[in-house]
Structure 1
């Protein structure tokens, strides 16, 4: 932070536990809209400034019952809630506030109120258990928790005497709503610095112990002013909806930050399984949809059951998008899925493409405002067409809270993503694998997602995950866990058929030498397949 700009945070814990400045990522300001003022509160920008541009009587937040909160109503509730947190509970700028609950307008209101009051939001998945919550609370030294009253049990098991738990209800605000209603509704926002900490987001932990990533108020706006504004190009008349929780930065951006920055509305669904999500699209006339490749794939066989005429933009992220899913969805709907790669460390998407810029099978090109390159293990850039490790820099970047892994994640100002990509001569990036999803078998490097994509082209395969299994002769072999399509029966005959199919579809040495049929794949709270669980299962069996 510029020494001449004092932080508004009285509680300096978050800044005190950032990595040393020399380990920070390089921050780029390549677009004029990224030149933010030194004093900046993202809640003011998302509500007050948006109301000034578009008016306050337009829809802002909707719940799954169809109840609509206007921008003016949301702003008033945010002001009253912030006032109650500060004057009723003693929240001080810089205090960490855990948010717990499924997606709802009241969860969004709580998040915005914490921003307005100068607090630091630590938004968690609603289904985390006490042992997971305890780790989050301890790591971030959380002082307050705003919790959906239906989800307090695990939180109470995790909390100690130093945590103040405040309950809300998704319909009328509950305890917090009643207390806030008695407030004046006049609450000048805390004049945070642009690089005061706004949120601490925990990674999903699929590669080990979750890491706490730290992002500033300007970062919140930067993801809207790059990926959203330059690639998605939302309109004030849009209605956003989707499945990712607000505790997942994919959901926070796509379902709250992006629509509010554009003056659009957001439908926040508590229940967003694929069938319910696509029925909500028809019922509420959703125009912009955010969900996962898995959700798009699961509705492919039933798309005729949904009225999707209102959709103009469908975004896919959170895990690799199989080309077969992209192609099948376009054939059925005429909509070209917007693929993208982002990360908790970068806060949101930094490589993507939309509309006519989409090249099927490619993740996309670098989002304006960011830069990306493909390097070898030494950090040297590799030629186009050669696989390597993806590095990125931009207006956001990786800062871990008190974590020695910072030094491995950020090198020479670039953030490593943990992904293997190929960049082509036209600047498109092609995903190969997570760096830990590369299987080395008899000296061959095999990208697990490539084998998965091949299997998914077989009509008997509904879902699959591919990992490397230890093998004394080959080092590793390709093993596939397969969920069968309805009506298909497992057996040796089908194993042989799937193996033959892959051999005929891609290089024969990549075929799965072991196939295990399963009723389902292990998934984390964000919906990502936990390949680490499958890899550990393979290792334990080989011992």
Structure 2
């Protein structure tokens, strides 16, 4: 693969990739927790997307405007993205786990003209008490909400004829938020041209998607991984995607894989770990599953061995970021080295460098780095160019992760360079959690780090200093956890809280999270020695 193969034409809209498959072929198979099922063809989905582009046009939302969407695993989510992107409108993905403060920040920073939310989630938006001067429209999905426009009603009168807006490869398509080590979340700017490069990397070289496949990627809307796989890697390759709208349960996941005869699976290590623990795993028939991929965090060897022994399936690791696409992985035809991240998708653009930006020798630990002219790398952090520059050394963008490379070019993960916590595939900034914990009346000071966990990889742990008059207890732990779930997205809450007398700090008063991380790693190591 050459550089020119990844560069989109000057005039390019990513929906053109999907239009190629306009036919009666099934695009999506959808099932919910109650067993209700739907399916939609490529032609139906494309037409609905054109209708939604007309909805936005009628509302005065034009090319370059931003809309935020908080819609779960519904066919409507695909319709919204297709319509907005066809109209040249920028999509701000939002998880249903976000709270009012999180939503307000995204709406304000992105100057969003509209928010499109699942009817069951609209209350959180209505709870926002900050001023939102740019917000003109609130659209409710799959149900009506007082004071909101109804997507169903708007779609009912919208025509299906719509000429795709002329967008260029560098025009913004997505503003996706990711956690940072300090302060507010960062908005990653991705262009239409980024999608062009992504489609020529991950779907074929790693996921091994082939014509006629049924592909299930379990990521939910609201995350960049959903754009990567359930959206682009399904529709951009013309295959059939499975969508399950329900709570995760390992036995249900295995049954869906069996019943829908899924050919390609992509999910998180946490999901694989929980599936591997199911009793009598061999009772599930996964003979149609040709390729299983894992992304979001490192996958442990025991799970890989279980899937190999039970189903003769080798689960392949893949590594990428919100800021990029798949960067490193076990590619099609590559020998698997259990425990390795695999190899770079393109050696020319992905390497390991030291603190000066110079490539490190074989076996030496350094920073995973991406050349800044890589077509599948983001443009910048929206309205936060200083945070982009802080991650740049010379001609490289540093991912924040550390690794070494062996003599055969395989990469081996060695942890984060910064304080970001990766838990069950979620990236969580410690400051966001600390800010929420500190709002509790009993808390005087707080530090948050990742603590090793057998199922989730890491969990969020808070070291808490209490105010005078308060005593640490199981009851207070639960109270703080419940409080944090209401203050910020609940996946960020501290699953473990340790009450301490003080926190390790520098002479300038900064929390030494590295010391606390080292403490948790040492405790985990000692625990493993005792139990093995």
TM-score, normalised on structure 1?
Answer: 0.74
Could you tell me how far 1:387 is from its partner in structure 2?
0.6
Residue 382 (structure 2) pairs with residue 401 (structure 1):
yes
State the partner residue of 2:467: none
State the alpha-carbon separation in 2 of the partners of residues 342 and 325 from structure 1.
Answer: 21
Match of 1:295 among 266, 271, 283: 271
* Corresponding position of 1:128: 98
Specify the alignment match of 1:166 in structure 2: 139
Say which SS state the counterpart of residue 166 (structure 1) adopts.
Answer: strand
Alignment match of 2:29 (pick from 62, 69, 73): 62
CA contact (8 A) 2:71 2:141 kept: no
Aligned-residue offset at 1:467:
9.7
Match of 2:400 among 418, 423, 427: 418
Match of 2:241 among 266, 276, 291: 266
Q: Is the 8 A contact 1:204 1:526 kept in 2?
A: no
Query: 1:332 is matched with which residue?
Result: 310
Residues 333-365 of structure 1, C-alpha deviation per residue, up to 9 Å, x if partnerless?
A: 21111211111111x211011455221110011
Taking a change above 3 Å as real, the CA distance of residues 210 and 309 of structure 1, as seen in their structure-2 partners, is same
Cα distance in 2 between the residues matched to 1:319 and 1:290? 13
The CA distance in 2 between the partners of 1:223 and 1:38, in whole Å, is 16
The equivalent of 1:49 in structure 2 is 20
User: What corresponds to 1:391 in structure 2?
Assistant: 369
Distance 2:97 2:304 in 1: 30
Q: Please tell me whether residue 33 in structure 1 is matched to residue 5 in structure 2.
A: yes
Q: 1:469 and 1:167 mapped to 2: Cα distance?
A: 36
Cα shift at 1:291: 1.1
Structure 2 CA distance for aligned equivalents of residues 106 and 467 of structure 1: 33
Distance in 1, matches of 2:177 and 2:293, equals: 22
Displacement of 1:434: 0.9
Unaligned runs of 5+ in 1: 1-28, 439-447, 457-461, 471-518
- What displacement does 1:259 show? 1.2
For the pair 1:360 / 2:338, whether they are aligned, the reply is yes
Structure 2 residue 70 is matched with structure 1 residue 100? yes
Where does residue 509 of structure 1 map in the other structure? none
CA-CA distance at 1:221 after TM superposition = 2.1
2:42 aligns with 71
Aligned pair in 2 of structure 1 residues 536, 391: CA closer, same or farther (>3 Å)? farther
- Name the residue aligned to 1:442: none
> Mean Cα displacement is larger for which, 214-223 or 319-328?
319-328
Q: Quickly say closer, same or farther: Cα 1:434–1:86, change in 2 above 3 A.
A: same
Compare 358-367 and 392-401 and name the one that shifted more: 392-401
Query: What is the DSSP-based 3-state SS (H/G/I as helix, E as strand, rest coil) of the residue aligned with 2:245?
Result: coil
Equivalent runs, 1:73-222 vs 2, <5 Å: 73-87=44-58, 89-158=59-128, 160=132, 162-163=134-135, 164-169=137-142, 175-205=150-180, 208-222=183-197
After the TM superposition, which of the residue ranges 93-102 and 352-361 deviates more from structure 2? 352-361
Let me know the Cα RMSD of the aligned residues.
3.3
Aligned to 1:16: none
Does structure 1 conserve the Cα–Cα contact (< 8 Å) formed by 2:365 and 2:404?
yes
Please give the secondary structure, in 2, of the residue aligned with 1:295: helix
8 Å Cα contact 2:117-2:139 kept in structure 1: yes
Secondary structure class of the residue paired with 2:369: strand
Residue 319 (structure 2) pairs with residue 341 (structure 1): yes
Q: Partners of 2:69 and 2:348 in 1: how far apart?
A: 30
Change (3 A) 1:368 1:238: farther
Give how far 1:539 is off. Answer: 9.1
How much does 1:280 deviate? 2.1
| More deviation, 224-233/335-344 | 224-233
| Cα deviation code 1:292-321 (max 9, x no counterpart) | 101100111213353322221211111121
Moved more, 111-120 or 238-247: 238-247
Contact 2:7 2:375 in 1 (8 A): no
The answer as to 2:400 corresponding to 1:433 is no
- In structure 2, how many angstroms separate the alpha carbons of the residues matched to 1:101 and 1:467? 26
CA pair 370-90 structure 1, distance change in 2 beyond 3 A: farther
Q: Measured at CA, do residues 405 and 463 of structure 1 come closer, stay the same or move farther in structure 2, by a change above 3 Å?
A: closer
C-alpha change, 1:463 and 1:231, in structure 2 (3 Å) is: closer
* Residues in 1 aligned to 2:256 and 2:500: alpha-carbon distance in whole angstroms: 40
TM-score by length of 2: 0.75
Tell me the equivalent position of 2:469: none
User: How many residues are paired up?
Assistant: 439
- Cα distance between partner residues in 1 of 2:254 and 2:358: 45
Q: Give the C-alpha shift of residue 326 in structure 1.
A: 2.0
Distance 1:116 1:178 in 2: 21
- 1: distance between equivalents of 2:253 and 2:179? 23
State whether structure 2 residue 258 is matched by structure 1 residue 282: yes
User: How far apart are 1:86 and its partner, in Å?
Assistant: 0.4
Aligned partner of 2:423 in structure 1 is: none
Following superposition, the deviation at residue 67 of structure 1 comes to 1.0
C-alpha distance in 1 between matches for 2:407 and 2:500:
38
Residue 50 of structure 1: SS of its match in structure 2? coil
1:248 aligns with 2:223: yes
